[in-house]
Structure 1
């Protein structure tokens, strides 16, 4: 299958569970970069989970102000640096983080959006926002990976913002992540249907 056809399929093909479309500017960006289809499939899965997280937050805590558009853009572009460091699509590495932020900045995206490419794996850094934590959480729970330290930071933000009980927020958030995690096998299978580029 030609690369452009595979990329189109990664961006638009039906999946089980269903995956929402990426924001139009991100679709255009991935096409302009001739992004690896596997990366597009991954970004689509993480973005879909981020939508679920933000929807839940807005429904449960409508008074908490969260930059929905920034979270969804961040989830949809967090690994954009892997268009530069393609070996990190199938292997470990963090070079894509700084490269992704720089790439988005060079393309005219402001620091409020470009930052997620660099912060999605550093949720304990000073100044980490709830938006950063939601992108980081989406990047883990899409494949049903649970990180208690990360989840505790999200819960702490919710407790601080609402004055609620920690145990109540924990139970509600855990229930959400469990339900999202139930779809992980389908999301992983969708991503795996797009082979990673050969390593150099």
Structure 2
């Protein structure tokens, strides 16, 4: 039975307002009786991923990426924390592979499920721009800056756009600063929800 607190984490608009998760993800979280804090976290990261996708499309329109799969990936990237709830409040990466396997078992295709594995392994050879953007959203939602990750995003955007890397970096830096400005509100939203129902 889905907890009232989980339902509230999925429905509360937050401040600033956070987008809802895709319906398929909400159903998955309810079926797994996911920790309310996980639902709040996924909403925060999904919302930031949406902002990043909008920014890339607006400023780097020639860059090809699968927006739909990227946004779904942001919404499910930490699903393995339903198996490893201790990793919601502490370090750990066991949720990554286990989350990937859980998603496959629940009918998600590999193209979507991969984000559970790749959001913490952005240097792997098979990582695409979508994976990098989900990883970036998973950091910047709380105003955490990871220069190595940001540089990988800059390189991908510069290679396709024809702009110099420094130009892309300056534009990305401004966008990340803008998104990070709301980090305290997103962190407060997540903290409103317990690790256990």
TM-score, with length taken from structure 2 = 0.97
- CA deviation map 1:70-110 (0-9, x unaligned): 11111100000000111111111110000000000011111
Q: Give the structure 2 partner of residue 11 of structure 1.
A: 10
Matched residue count = 197
Secondary structure (helix, strand or coil) at the match of 1:164 reads: coil
TM-score, with length taken from structure 1 = 0.96
**Structure 1 moving runs of 4+ over 4 Å:** none
After TM superposition, give the deviation of residue 3 of structure 1 in Å: 6.0
> How large is the RMSD of aligned CA atoms in angstroms?
1.2
Mark the runs of 5 or more structure 2 residues left unpaired by the alignment: none
Mark the runs of 5 or more structure 1 residues left unpaired by the alignment: none
Q: Give the structure 2 partner of residue 85 of structure 1.
A: 84
- CA deviation map 1:18-66 (0-9, x unaligned): 1000111111111111111000000000000000000000111112111
Q: Give the structure 2 partner of residue 34 of structure 1.
A: 33
Secondary structure (helix, strand or coil) at the match of 2:3 reads: helix
Q: 1:145-184 to 2 correspondence within 5 Å?
A: 145-184=144-183
Q: Give the structure 2 partner of residue 25 of structure 1.
A: 24
Q: Which moved more, 1:39-48 or 1:16-25?
A: 16-25
**Residues 141 and 177 of structure 1 are in contact (CA less than 8 Å); yes or no, is this contact kept in structure 2?**
yes
**Residues 3 and 37 of structure 1 are in contact (CA less than 8 Å); yes or no, is this contact kept in structure 2?**
no
